[in-house]
């Protein structure tokens, strides 16, 4: 189907306006823009219309962000209260630097996780959904990496305060290794394995 040609789904969504009326044609045209003009084009090797795929992938992305964002927000809120505690005035300079690095990493993760929402609002109904999904995927992956670093630094700082430098290094390394394996290495290995099976 030619790019931007009114698809069946667009016509169905706009049917209530009355075919043949100017409002109907404007609605159908806008529906095509919302999906990047993809219409009912089907990607090679798939029987799913591109417009439906874009909508499904957007919903999946938003659901994943709903899982990740509360965790980083809780950590960020906790870090904001730390400087106002009495114990904070007694920590060493290296511990202060570790705390600040944790705060910066958490801030970066928060910004990256919220970037897709801002992107979508600003580019709403401008036919940029495909590009938005690609960029938002990058934001989410980098945000997860930043969150992993922030969690590692946070648990390292707490272990240092409680048990000393040796225990802090061991606990921090174990946490980073666990997150690296489950959040990155395992899905990447599955991706490589699935690619080799094709």
Supply the pTM of this predicted model: 0.72
Q: Report pLDDT for 157.
A: 96
pLDDT exceeds 80 at position 32: no
pLDDT exceeds 90 at position 110: yes
Q: Report pLDDT for 31.
A: 52
pLDDT exceeds 60 at position 105: yes
> Which tokens belong to 166?
């040796």
Q: Is 118 left (phi over 0), alpha (psi -120 to 50) or beta?
A: alpha
Q: Where are the alpha helices (DSSP H) in 164-185?
A: 165-180
């Amino acid at each position: 189907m030619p790019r931007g040609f009114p698809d069946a789904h667009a016509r169905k969504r706009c049917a209530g306006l009355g075919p043949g009326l100017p409002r109907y044609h404007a609605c159908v045209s806008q529906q095509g823009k919302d999906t990047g003009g993809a219409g009912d084009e089907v990607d090679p090797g798939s029987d799913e219309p591109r417009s439906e795929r874009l909508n499904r992938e957007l919903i999946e992305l938003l659901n994943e962000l709903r899982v990740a964002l509360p965790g980083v927000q809780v950590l960020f809120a906790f870090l904001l209260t730390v400087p106002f505690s009495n114990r904070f005035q007694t920590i060493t300079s290296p511990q202060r630097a570790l705390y600040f690095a944790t705060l910066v990493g958490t801030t970066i993760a928060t910004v990256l996780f919220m970037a897709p929402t801002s992107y979508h609002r600003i580019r709403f109904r401008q036919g940029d959904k495909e590009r938005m999904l690609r960029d938002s995927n990058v934001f989410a992956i980098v945000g997860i990496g930043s969150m992993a670093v922030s969690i590692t630094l946070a648990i390292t700082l707490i272990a240092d305060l409680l048990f000393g430098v040796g225990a802090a290094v061991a606990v921090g390394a174990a946490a980073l290794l666990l997150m690296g394996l489950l959040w990155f290495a395992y899905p990447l290995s599955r991706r490589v394995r699935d690619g080799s099976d094709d």
